[in-house]
């Protein structure tokens, strides 16, 4: 009898526990997470104009970007101007990021989302802090992995966690942030279109390499002429010759350094010269060292005295030289090679 009563009591206890768990589950499933649909940083959008400092760090590196007057500069890159488009995207993405889903609070699971503390050994996360001029933190977060749009949700999303808070979130937005200082530099160096170029000459350090020169006398002419082609050669095609005049179009840097930190060795340096129809000359020194393409730029007028160029061109020369005078630049290889073309790149042996 006693055993029978114990069995009845045990069954009743299990039933009560099951009912309690079911009730709790039902109650929780009917509760709407009030955070869903709200901004992660609710006040940041109204404080964007107050941001004066950005800090980005990972396990090993740090980059800081500061506002100096009306200009944003990369502190680790000689306080040179920062890329405003990247900064705007960063500010707006964080300010408008809306919570899609509450994720884990457990530190041991943060790495799966890429939101682990940056101080953790082997961490892949990046920490970002935005401050105002008083040093007050306006927003700070650990950026995690991106989640591509899904069929049921076409929005880009990313995992994120506020610094000091174990709660992680899935929020709207698409953001790729680099901790490499050079990636934050304003990359535009010079942009002179082909239609403005009158001639290009490339002088190689090796005396066995012929001087390369293309020219177009009439600005309305379609094609350039490759000068002094050896008798046994002919141009490969007009497009290849014409493309040489694109060397100064949309030139963007990968990195920069003070010019006194790199020596342009004469025997390794190619000199390219671009002359425009309105009298501007841009000289480009190019040297490849340890698989890196180093360049220096300078500007002058076609007759050196500046007597025949317009005031507009004179102002352009002054502006370019002010920009270039202290610096050497690292260019992407696809752009740098345009300044080192040889006659063999433009001409081929004639068919016999």
Same domain, 206 and 253: yes
Q: 229 lies in a domain?
A: yes
Gap between the Cα atoms of 311 and 302, Å rounded: 14
Residue that finishes a domain, picked among 136, 162, 184: 184
Gap between the Cα atoms of 25 and 130, Å rounded: 40
pLDDT in tens, the chain (352 residues): 444 444 444 554 444 444 444 433 333 333 467 889 999 999 999 999 999 999 999 999 999 999 999 999 999 999 999 999 999 999 999 999 999 999 999 999 999 999 999 999 999 999 999 999 999 999 999 999 998 777 666 789 999 999 999 999 999 999 999 999 999 999 999 999 999 999 999 999 987 788 999 999 999 999 999 999 989 999 999 999 999 999 999 999 999 999 999 999 999 999 999 999 999 999 999 999 999 999 999 999 986 554 588 999 999 999 999 999 999 999 999 999 999 999 999 999 988 7
Residue with the two structure tokens 């990968």: 254
Residues 6+ apart with CB under 8 A from 129: 54, 55, 137, 139, 140, 163
Instruction: Please check whether residue 169 is in contact with residue 160, taking contact to mean a CB–CB distance below 8 angstroms.
Output: yes
Same domain, 100 and 203: no
Same domain, 167 and 239: no
- Give the structural domain span for 258: 188-349
97 phi/psi in degrees, rounded to 5: -65, 130
Same domain, 197 and 139: no
Same domain, 49 and 169: yes
Selection from 78, 87, 84 nearest residue 329 by Cα: 78
Q: Dump pLDDT digits (tens) for 126-148.
A: 999 999 999 999 999 999 999 87
Gap between the Cα atoms of 143 and 113, Å rounded: 9
Same domain, 153 and 210: no
Same domain, 176 and 194: no
Same domain, 150 and 200: no
Residue that finishes a domain, picked among 163, 184, 205: 184
Joined together, the tokens standing for residue 119 give 């101080």
Q: How many domains does the chain have?
A: 2
């Amino acid at each position: 009898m006693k055993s029978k009563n114990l069995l009845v009591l045990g069954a009743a206890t299990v039933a009560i526990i099951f009912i309690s768990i079911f009730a709790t589950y039902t109650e929780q499933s009917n509760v709407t997470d009030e955070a869903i649909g709200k901004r992660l940083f609710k006040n940041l959008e109204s404080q964007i104009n107050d941001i004066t400092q950005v800090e980005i760090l990972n396990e090993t590196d740090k980059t800081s970007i500061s506002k100096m007057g009306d200009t944003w500069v990369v502190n680790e890159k000689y306080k040179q101007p920062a890329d405003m488009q990247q900064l705007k995207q960063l500010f707006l993405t964080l300010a408008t990021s809306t919570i899609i889903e509450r994720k884990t609070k457990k530190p041991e699971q943060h790495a799966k989302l890429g939101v682990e503390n940056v101080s953790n050994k082997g961490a892949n996360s990046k920490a970002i802090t935005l401050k105002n001029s008083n040093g007050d933190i306006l927003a700070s977060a650990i950026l995690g992995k991106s989640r591509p749009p899904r069929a049921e949700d076409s929005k880009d999303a990313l995992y994120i966690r506020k610094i000091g808070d174990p709660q992680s979130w899935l929020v709207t937005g698409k953001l790729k942030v680099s901790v490499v200082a050079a990636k934050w530099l304003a990359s535009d160096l010079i942009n002179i279109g082909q239609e403005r170029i009158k001639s290009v000459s490339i002088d190689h350090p090796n005396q066995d390499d012929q001087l390369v020169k293309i020219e177009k006398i009439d600005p309305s002419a379609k094609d350039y002429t490759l000068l002094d082609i050896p008798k046994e050669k002919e141009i490969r095609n007009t497009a290849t010759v014409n493309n040489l005049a694109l060397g100064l179009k949309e030139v963007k840097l990968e990195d920069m350094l003070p010019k006194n930190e790199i020596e342009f060795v004469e025997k390794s340096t190619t000199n390219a010269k671009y002359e425009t129809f309105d009298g501007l000359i841009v000289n480009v020194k190019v040297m490849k060292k340890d698989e890196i393409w180093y360049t220096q730029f300078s500007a002058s007028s076609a007759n050196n005295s500046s007597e025949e160029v317009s005031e507009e061109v004179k102002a352009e020369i002054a502006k370019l030289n002010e920009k270039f005078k202290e610096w050497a630049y690292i260019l992407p290889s696809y752009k740098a090679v345009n300044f080192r073309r040889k006659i063999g790149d433009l001409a081929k042996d004639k068919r016999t």
